[in-house]
């Protein structure tokens, strides 16, 4: 997605969390926001109790998936946003009632819903005067069993609607990097996601996000947080580069500082300068010299072990 398309999109605020519009990829069910589902309780638990407990344990942005419209009073009192669950997506009365609460709405795509049907639910909310809608791709039933995420559909929803989109990863962070690369503004984890799952999703959001998503921070702290994500990507790549440079040293007839190939170094700096034109060859050369020498030192230390 081009930066222009991204910046032209309608960001949605859920409590203190902003989703879309040049903001970092959010992890919901992780560090950025939490959610609870009253569906899991089959409407048997008191909404007030379940939401109150969630609120007591988490001061940040909180979303709630209601079991029915009867829960919406409690939701309005304690939550920052409402999730319309995939199984409920075409319950038009519930959708209408949820939209009227006035909180931001996350619309999960029903397992068999088409793009048109999904986008129509967002329009339903807008027709009720609530345009704070985020679309969440929650997967379709397929021959693989369970549900299979359709990241192309998620991307099409973002492009067609201009609304922020989430990828529902449940308890499996394996597709987190792909979802971020496909343009997800946020990753939705299951309500009970473990800290390992949340950490993996957060890592993908930071590292892959830094590579593929331009951000538009508007404050020093937001710009520093964006720099931290870029540094996380840089460190990941540097670690990988050190390992590969070590492999070359072992494979070359003469490795280490003695086998240095300055012509190769000049060529790689020139190639990098094409991707980093603001630095250019002259400024990149000392940076890469330091990186290469650090790699050679690590390789020589490793060879002595």
Of all residues in the shown chain, the one whose CB is closest to ligand PRE is: 245
Gap between the Cα atoms of 169 and 176, Å rounded:
7
Tell me: does residue 10 bind ligand PRE (CB under 6 A): no
> By rule CB under 6 A, what count of residues binds ligand PRE?
12
Closest distance of CB 277 from ligand PRE, Å: 21
Tell me: does residue 295 bind ligand PRE (CB under 6 A): yes
Tell me: does residue 227 bind ligand PRE (CB under 6 A): no
Gap between the Cα atoms of 270 and 288, Å rounded:
11
CA-based torsion, 206, 210, 211, 213: positive or negative: positive
Rank residues 181 and 238 by Cβ distance to ligand PRE and give the closer one: 238
Q: According to CB under 6 A, which one of 117, 123, 261, 302 is a site residue for ligand PRE?
A: 261
Tell me: does residue 126 bind ligand PRE (CB under 6 A): no
Of 153, 91, 96, 150, residue with least CA distance to 119? 153
- Burial zone of 174 (CB within 10 Å; 0-12 exposed, 13-18 middle, 19+ buried): exposed
**How many residues does this entry show for the chain?**
305
Rank residues 115 and 294 by Cβ distance to ligand PRE and give the closer one: 294
Bridge pairing between strands 133-137 and 62-65: unpaired
Binding segment for ligand PRE among 77-85, 161-169, 201-209, 260-268 (CB under 6 A)?
260-268
Closest distance of CB 265 from ligand PRE, Å: 5
Binding segment for ligand PRE among 134-142, 162-170, 199-207, 256-264 (CB under 6 A)?
256-264
Gap between the Cα atoms of 169 and 151, Å rounded:
11
Rank residues 216 and 290 by Cβ distance to ligand PRE and give the closer one: 290
Tell me: does residue 260 bind ligand PRE (CB under 6 A): yes
DSSP 33: B
Q: According to CB under 6 A, which one of 199, 265, 281, 300 is a site residue for ligand PRE?
A: 265
Query: Which residue has tokens 């670690």?
Result: 239
Are the C-beta atoms of residues 129 and 99 closer than 8 Å to each other?
Answer: yes
Tell me: does residue 248 bind ligand PRE (CB under 6 A): yes
Tell me: does residue 245 bind ligand PRE (CB under 6 A): yes
Q: Which helix (H) or strand (E) holds 147?
A: strand 147-148
Of 9, 30, 31, residue with least CA distance to 19? 9
Closest distance of CB 118 from ligand PRE, Å: 47
Residues that bind ligand PRE (CB under 6 A): 245, 248-249, 252, 260-261, 264-265, 268, 292, 295-296
């Amino acid at each position: 997605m081009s930066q222009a398309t991204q910046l032209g999109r309608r960001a949605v605020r859920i409590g203190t969390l902003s989703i879309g519009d040049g903001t970092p990829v959010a992890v919901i069910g992780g560090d950025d926001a939490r959610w609870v589902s009253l569906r899991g309780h089959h409407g048997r638990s008191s909404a007030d109790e379940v939401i109150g407990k969630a609120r007591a344990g988490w001061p940040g942005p909180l979303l709630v998936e209601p079991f029915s419209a009867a829960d919406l009073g409690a939701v309005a009192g304690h939550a920052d946003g409402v999730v319309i669950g995939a199984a409920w997506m075409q319950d038009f009365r519930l959708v209408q009632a949820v939209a009227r609460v006035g909180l931001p709405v996350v619309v999960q795509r029903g397992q068999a819903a088409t793009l048109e049907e999904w986008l129509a639910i967002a329009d339903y909310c807008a027709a009720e005067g609530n345009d704070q809608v985020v679309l969440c791709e929650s997967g379709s039933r397929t021959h693989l069993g369970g549900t299979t995420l359709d990241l192309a559909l998620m991307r099409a929803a973002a492009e067609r609607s201009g609304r922020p989109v989430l990828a529902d990863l449940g308890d499996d962070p394996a597709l987190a990097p792909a979802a971020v690369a496909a343009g997800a503004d946020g990753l939705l984890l299951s309500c009970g996601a473990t800290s390992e799952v949340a950490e993996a999703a957060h890592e993908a959001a930071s590292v892959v996000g830094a590579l593929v998503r331009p951000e538009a921070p508007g404050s020093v702290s937001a710009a520093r947080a964006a720099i931290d994500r870029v540094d996380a990507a840089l460190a990941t790549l540097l670690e990988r580069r050190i390992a590969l440079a070590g492999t070359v040293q072992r494979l070359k007839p003469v490795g280490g500082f003695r086998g240095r190939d300055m012509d190769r170094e000049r060529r790689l700096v020139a190639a990098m300068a094409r991707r980093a034109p603001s630095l250019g060859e002259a400024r990149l050369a000392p940076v890469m010299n330091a990186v290469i020498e650090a790699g050679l030192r690590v390789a020589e230390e490793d060879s002595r072990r």
